[in-house]
Amino acid sequence: MKIRLFHKFIVAFIAIGVAAVTVAGLLIERELKRDLMIRIEEEMAAGARIIALMPAGEIVRHAGELAERTRARLTLIDAAGRVTADSELGDAETDDHRNRSEIQEARLRGVGKAVRYSHTLKQEMLYVAIPLREGPRTTGYVRLSRPLAEITRTIDGIGEAVFGILLGTMIAFLLIALLFSLRMLSPIGRLAAFTGKVRTGDISGALWIESRDEIGLLSENINEMVTALQEKIRTAGEEKRKLESLFSGMSEGVMVLDAENRIESVNRGMAEMTGRPRGEVIGKTLLEAFRNIELHDALERFRERKETVYEEIGLGDDRPVIMDVTISAVQGETGGERKTMLVFHDVTRLKKLERTRTDFVANVTHEIRTPLTAIIGFAETLQQGAFENPETARKFLRTIRENAERLNRLVDDLLTLSGLELGETKLHLEGVRIEEAVDQVLAVVEARAGEKGLTIRKEIAGELPLIRADRDRLAQILINILDNAIKFTPVGGTIAITTSPGEEECLTVRIADTGVGIPKGEIPRLGERFYRADKTRSREPGGTGLGLSIVKHLMMAHGGRVIIDSTLGHGTTVSLYFPVFRESK
């Protein structure tokens, strides 16, 4: 339990006051007693001297009256030490008084004083004796005595009065001291209340104490400290908000582990990367939160080596996210808790692009090498003498030309696709009637469809709105889709072309076939360059493998989109969504 400063002051003041009154009372009482004893002794000695001037007979006759006037017991003693008169006992006291101390002192010094117990009166007495002289001869002694109790009562009365005065003075002093203490402790209490508020984190306001002493200076110093603290807290708050904004806004995932290697905090980027809300991982270990051995092993290596660790890991089961992880120590105060920071970079898209680029290089190399190999082979055969046979020579030359044209189409398609991806292809957008575009394309592909015995059914509703498209590029889109449908639809199959108004100001063109279909897992990759859904199936001569990729980019350039739906063994449906043409006002 805390003792308040005010109570300490009260106890201290009371202790000082009691000690001061006690010491002063004792000193004053002692001085008063000494002074009073001296004064009484002098008074009694003066009275005795006056009585000693009288004849002995007069003293005896008037002993009672003289005792009353001197307010003391009067005893007349002769030179032999016998009592000749006593104001209280008469001459009944017969003891020899020569050896009494006051008589001996009076004989020697002229005045004798003594304080002793009177066996006659049974009490302490103060004695003063004066010798009676007749010339040089001492004829007796006049002794006056008073009871010491009477003197003590007088002294006690005076002492009580003095003690009362001292006590009153002490009380007045204590009141004044307490008022002063309250005045002095009031700002100290305000200082304590204000600093207590600051200790709990409330640093609003200021401390105002009107004082020019050290307390006023202390309040000014505290105000300056609080102002500096407010500025530091404001600066720290700004820095914290900046760091939190930076931490939350980072595209990289950031995770901090505490000294026990449990997850202390994660940023929004990490939660989005892993698809795990913060609440699910806070307080858990890496193994508990992600169940990933590679990540756990990387952390263990960091703990063993005490140096930054770089690792590439995959998080997730179905579609793992590829991460570049950097594990490092959090720089902090020396001797403080050691924390660990993990920074995750999502490189899934980069890895996918690298794989796509590798596949593209392999595919384009294969696509170029096949016709080049045919051209070189037939050319070497002709050089070796095959041109002597005109029929064989013409056949070889026709094959060389077909493969050269295939190379040319491949280069054209690659240039077209590159121009679309770089935004260099300019479209001449205008209002186009979809029925006319379909009829124009059917005229080109019907012959090939007829060779395979395919039926093309066109179902176009009347009064359809115009679509916003480039005529040539629209024809290229439709030809590529129909060309694939013809290629992968068995003999006797059917291809249906339907149109219908779509949602969001668009027109839908659907081309459905009864071909071999595509596995569901391969559909998302359709549109990649040279991608083959069935890698065991050789591409028919004349195709470049870039058709769907060109279609996808052309639809995006038109502001539309393409959706492919397919069931293996039951055919494929390609839905093209074109924006409706609106006249500009």
Q: Of 210, 212, 321, 327, which is closest to residue 274 (Cα–Cα)? A: 321
Could you tell me if 466 and 408 lie in one domain? Answer: no
The pLDDT value given to residue 585: 47
Query: Does 88 reside within a domain?
Result: yes
The pLDDT value given to residue 537: 47
Query: Does 161 reside within a domain?
Result: no
Q: Give the helix ranges, DSSP H, for 384-429.
A: 390-422
The pLDDT value given to residue 397: 81
Please report, for the domain that includes residue 359, its CATH number: 1.10.287.130
The pLDDT value given to residue 534: 55
Over residues 12-49, the pLDDT tens digits come to: 778 887 888 788 777 877 787 788 778 888 888 888 88
The pLDDT value given to residue 1: 36
CA distances from 310 to 139, 156, 252, 285, 303 (A): 131, 99, 15, 19, 13
Query: Does 165 reside within a domain?
Result: no
Which residues in the chain land under pLDDT 50? 1-2, 535-542, 585
Query: Does 476 reside within a domain?
Result: yes
Could you tell me if 301 and 334 lie in one domain? Answer: yes
**Residue 45: CB partners within 8 Å, gap ≥ 6?**
111, 113, 128, 130
Please report, for the domain that includes residue 484, its CATH number: 3.30.565.10
Q: Domains in the chain: how many in total?
A: 5
The pLDDT value given to residue 210: 64
Could you tell me if 255 and 142 lie in one domain? Answer: no
Query: Does 266 reside within a domain?
Result: yes
Could you tell me if 440 and 572 lie in one domain? Answer: yes
Query: Does 521 reside within a domain?
Result: yes
DSSP tag of 157: H
Could you tell me if 433 and 502 lie in one domain? Answer: yes
Residue tagged 């066996």 (tokens): 119
Q: Of 150, 103, 87, 100, which is closest to residue 123 (Cα–Cα)? A: 150
Query: Does 58 reside within a domain?
Result: yes
Q: Are 488 and 515 in contact (CB under 8 A)?
A: yes
Q: Of 487, 533, 537, which is closest to residue 513 (Cα–Cα)? A: 487
Could you tell me if 137 and 224 lie in one domain? Answer: no
Could you tell me if 470 and 415 lie in one domain? Answer: no
Choosing from 396, 420, 444, the residue where a domain stops is 420
Q: Are 290 and 298 in contact (CB under 8 A)?
A: no
Could you tell me if 503 and 490 lie in one domain? Answer: yes
List strand residue ranges (DSSP E) for 487-570, in order: 494-501, 506-513, 561-567
DSSP class per residue in 185-238:
HHHHHHHHHHHHHHHTT---S------SSHHHHHHHHHHHHHHHHHHHHHHHHH
Full residue range of the structural domain in which residue 57 is found: 7-156
Query: Does 315 reside within a domain?
Result: yes
User: Model-level pTM?
Assistant: 0.43
Could you tell me if 235 and 285 lie in one domain? Answer: no
Could you tell me if 329 and 403 lie in one domain? Answer: no
Please report, for the domain that includes residue 129, its CATH number: 3.30.450.20
Could you tell me if 371 and 446 lie in one domain? Answer: no
Could you tell me if 138 and 34 lie in one domain? Answer: yes
DSSP tag of 580: B
